[in-house]
Amino acid sequence: MIKMIVNNKKLLIILSIAAVIIGIVLRFYIYNKTIIGKPPRLDEQYQFYQTEKHIKEKRFPVSGVFLNTPETYDNEENARVPGGYFYLVYIVKYLIGGQTYEGARLVNLITSILVSIIFFVWIYKRFSLTTFSIMLILMSVNVYFINAGNNIYNPHNPLILSFIFLPVLYEYLYNDKKFIYAVLLFPILALSAQCHFSNFFSIIPSLIVFLIIRWKKDTRKNIIPLAIGVFISFLTYLPYLIYQFQNHFESLSKILGRKSELSSHYVIQPPQIYSILLFTTNEGGSKYVNGLKDIINSYFGKNPLYTFTFIFYVLSFIFALIALIYAYKHFFTKKMLTDNDRKTNSLKELLFFYMVYIISTIAFYMICGIAGGGRPHYFYSSFTLGFVPIIYFIENIRYTKPKYINYICIYALLNMIAIIIYRI
C-alpha cells in the first residue's frame, strides 16, 4: 500500500477527490454547528452593523473598518482603513445571502472555496500530481483556511486573496512573458490593504523591496506593466481620495492622529512574524492564558481520541520545521533541485521573497512602532507564502528520494483524520 501511493496516479486522484469532499463537508458541518444568528465578537458586530448601515443609507463604501474599536456603534470619530473593498464585498455577500448575517456567512464560505480553486489549479498545473494531492490534503483541514471561510472578519479577506497572489507572483517569476502577472501584483495587494492596514507594513513594502533587488534582473524590463498595476491600485482608492478631498481629508487626519497616539507609547517590539510558520501547522493561533497547561487541557480529558489529535498537533510543527530547514539549507548551499530547472529557479525566488518578507516586515513594524507587535492575523496576506518551503520539500523529495515521499503522504492522510476527529 505504501509503495502504491506515489506511483499510482489513480490512487493519488482518489485521495485528491476524497480530500476535496472531506474539506467541503467539514466546512459545511462546522458552519452548521456554529450558526448563531448574529456576529459573535465585538469587531464582527461593528462590521455587520456598518454593512447594514451602508445598505440602509444607500451609501457606497469608501472606507474600511475602524483601526481601533469605538465605544459605541454610531461613533464615527475613530480612524478607518482607507478604501472600501471590505465593506463592498461584505455588502455583496449580505445581499446574495438574503440580507441576513448567516446568509452572508454562507456566501463567504462558498466564496473562500471558489477562490482557493485558483491556487489548487496552479499547483496542479505547475507541480507534480503528488504535490497537488498532498497540498490538497493538508489544506482541506487547515485550521486558518477553515476559519477564514467560517467567519466574516476583515483580516480573513487578505488570507483568501493570498490564494491568488502567490500563483500570480510565481507566474511572474516563471514566465518569460510577464505582462499580465506584473499588472496584477499590486492591485491584489491594494485590495488586501483595504481589508487590513497591516499590509502597508508587511506584504506591500516587501514586494517593493523584492522588485528593487531584482531591478537589473527583470524589474527594469517590466516597469511599464508594474506601473500600470500601481495605477490600477490607485484607482481602487479613487473613491476614497475623492471623498477625502470633499471632506478636507478628515479621515487621513484621524489616521495621522492615531499614529501620533501610538508614537507617544512607542516601544521597539518585533512583530509576531513566527505566525507564518504557524499557518502551516495545526495550531489555530488561540490565546492560551496558562500557556502549555491550556494546550494540554484542550486535548486531554475530554475525548480519548484527542490524544491522537495531539500527536499530530506536535507532528505538524515538526513537519513544518523540517520542510523550512530543508528548503533553506538547499537554498543557501545552492543545492535546490526539482525535475525542472525553471520550476527550481522560480521556487528559489519565492524562498528569497519569503526571506525578504520576514526581514522587511520586522524592519517596518519596529520602525513604525505598530501596537501589539503585529498579532498573527496581521500577517494573513502571507498565508500561502508559508507553504512555499513545503511545496519545495515535496517536489525535491519526490524527485531525489522518492521512497520517502510515501511517508509524507501517510502523514498528510493521518493528519487529516486527526483534525476531523477534533472538529467533529
**Per-residue pLDDT tens for 163-201?**
999 999 999 999 999 999 999 999 999 999 999 989 999
Q: What DSSP assignment string belongs to 394-405? A: HHHHHHH-HHHH
Residues 6+ apart with CB under 8 A from 186: 204, 207, 226, 229, 230, 232, 233
Using CA atoms of 343, 345, 348, 350 in order, give the dihedral in degrees to the nearest 10. -70
Q: Taking each helix axis as running N to C, give the angle between helix 156-174 and helix 101-126, from 0 to 180 degrees, rounded to the nearest 10.
A: 20
- Whether pLDDT at 3 is above 70: no
C-alpha distances in Å from residue 289, one per residue of 42, 293, 422:
20, 9, 21
Q: How confident is the model at residue 68 (pLDDT cuts 50, 70, 90)?
A: confident
pLDDT band, residue 263 (cuts 50/70/90): low
CA angle 343, 208, 380 (to 5 degrees): 75
Distances (CA, A) of 339 to 10, 37, 399, 400: 21, 51, 6, 9
What Rg, from alpha-carbon coordinates, does the chain have? 22
Q: Does the pLDDT of residue 149 top 50, yes or no?
A: yes
State how far the alpha carbon of 231 is from the alpha carbons of 65, 184, 198, 240, 404, in Å. Answer: 24, 11, 21, 15, 47
Residue 141 has pLDDT above 80, yes or no: yes
CB atoms within 10 A of CB 325: 12
Mean pLDDT score of the chain, rounded to an integer? 90
Q: What is the pLDDT of residue 66?
A: 83
> With bands split at pLDDT 50, 70 and 90, how would you rate the model's confidence at 272?
confident
Asked if residues 276 and 144 have their Cβ atoms less than 8 Å apart, the reply is no
What integer pLDDT is reported at residue 1 of this predicted model?
A: 45
Model confidence pLDDT, tens digit, residues 71-119: 666 666 677 899 999 999 999 999 999 999 999 999 999 999 999 999 9
Q: How many residues does the chain have?
A: 424
pLDDT at residue number 238 = 95
* For residue 252, pLDDT beyond 90: no
- pLDDT on residue 335: 95
Q: Judge residue 169's burial from the number of C-beta atoms within 10 Å of its C-beta, 0-12 exposed, 13-18 middle, 19 or more buried.
A: buried
- 400: confidence class by pLDDT, cuts 50, 70, 90: very high
- pLDDT, one tens digit per residue, over 283-318 is 987 766 667 788 888 888 778 899 999 999 999 999
Give the tens place of pLDDT for each residue, 9-38.
889 999 999 999 999 999 999 999 998 888
Closest C-alpha among 315, 297, 301, 280 to residue 414:
315
Q: Does pTM surpass 0.75? A: yes
pLDDT higher than 90, residue 384: yes
Q: What's the average model confidence in pLDDT over 203-209?
A: 97
Which contiguous run of DSSP H or E holds residue 233? helix 223-236
Residue 156 has pLDDT above 70, yes or no: yes
Q: If pLDDT is split at 50, 70 and 90, which confidence band does 320 have?
A: very high
> 66: which strand partners?
80
Residues 412, 138: contact at Cβ < 8 Å? yes
pLDDT of 257 reads 61
